[in-house]
Amino acid sequence: MATTPTLTEEPGRRPESPENARPKKKDRTHWLYIMVIVAVVAGAAVGLIFPELGKALKPLGTGFVALIKMIIAPVIFCTIVLGIGSIAKAATVGKVGGLALLYFITMSTFALAIGLFVGNMINPGSGLQLEPYETAAGGEENATVKFLLELIPGDIPVLPTLVLALLVGFALQSMGKSGEPVLNAVRHLQAVVFRIMMMIMWAAPIGAFGAIAAVVGATGWAAIGSMAILMGAFYVTCALFIVVVLGGLLKLVTGLNIFSLLRYLAREYLLIFSTSSSESALPRLIAKMEHAGVSQPVVGITVPTGYSFNLDGTAIYLTMASLFVSTAMGMPMNLGEQIGLLIFMIIASKGAAGVTGAGLATLAAGLQAHRPELLDGMGVIVGIDKFMSEARALTNFTGNAVATLLIGKWTKELDHEQARAVMAGERPFDELSLHPESH
């Protein structure tokens, strides 16, 4: 079963201390998070106290966005090619896989639409009037700055890359077993691309410092207020999505209470919050869904597939952040552009889970595909992206937990009596069951 390699990746570690798993990865993420927070606060302070200096620091944010643009096409190509392979694999397992994919696509589309609706309602970013570096500098670029920015390779067009990735993915799918070596090669290439992405993300504090200093220097407290509104609205939207949408579906289909599920998964939420990634809790979710009464085959298909295709929190973030940037740049998107962006995000967001910066790259890809001039406003998002990463990860994780229970019910592979007893706390989860020797 697909769960075994995942659960036995780190033999010898005790499951009762999940936060100790992969310590190096956790520590690095923790320090990057702290550095971004410090950079944002320092950038805001510089912008408020020394506005002219703050505006002069704009190239730092511009350079970081250029690095993100550089990596967009490789990220999109690898994730789409491998994503199509995942679709083919899930579709071959019959009713469970097909039902799961249909549900994932439907919920992701719904989450994207909610993000667009809320974004249009609150109109975040209004009044900021962000400008590209060249415009802000009065049309005259510093020669040294221009030279340094030109060292960064130019970006590759996103839409042609997306089309090519779709064609390659379907071609490899049609080749069957003979296409496996190429898929494996793409998988290795993706590992390299994501390693580059991680290297770029370590420059995020510098980019965030320059971008925040520049926008606060130009607009003062208005920028801080707009960013706070976006973050607050995003957190509220995610909370309502979990309680109202996911909770309503769970109650309607299975009769289970969403708050009981949240309490059951409390330990996983703590782990996700500490790492800002739902990937860290994947083995535990698999084990806990099986303990909750969902059959092993359904869990083995639904959970891993959902981690790539059921990204509700990421979907909400992508559309709300896109509207924030377009409004802040003074170039709001019309309804047609918003619908086109939604369709693009449905495709491009697949595979954006578990890798720091992949969501940011997907956002940049959507903006570049529809309104390339909006990429210059992404520097502000870089500064607040980390503040929203926990909400994204928690919403993604909850969406996958709910999806597993729903698919189990629809396929008659859910033990209702066990699920109710577990959610009521009558049959607690045995942490020792996660030990490799016990699995």
Q: Which residues pair with 294 in a beta bridge?
A: 414
8: Cα separation from own chain's centroid: 26
Which uninterrupted H or E stretch holds 62? helix 58-91
Distant-in-sequence, close-in-space partners of 42: CB < 8 Å, separation ≥ 6: 209, 213
pLDDT of res. 155: 67
pLDDT digit string, tens, across residues 195-243: 888 888 888 888 888 888 888 887 778 778 888 888 888 999 999 999 9
pLDDT of res. 173: 78
pLDDT, mean of residues 20-42:
66
**Would you put residue 220 in left (φ > 0), alpha (ψ -120 to 50) or beta?**
left
Query: 405: pLDDT confidence band, cut at 50, 70 and 90?
Result: very high
Residue 248 has pLDDT above 90, yes or no: yes
Query: 262: pLDDT confidence band, cut at 50, 70 and 90?
Result: very high
Q: What is the mean pLDDT of the chain?
A: 78
Where do the domains of the chain lie, and which CATH numbers do they carry?
21-426 (1.10.3860)
More confident residue, 243 or 99: 243
**Exposed / middle / buried, residue 240 (Cβ in 10 Å: 0-12, 13-18, 19+):** middle
Please state whether the predicted TM-score (pTM) of the whole model is above 0.75.
no
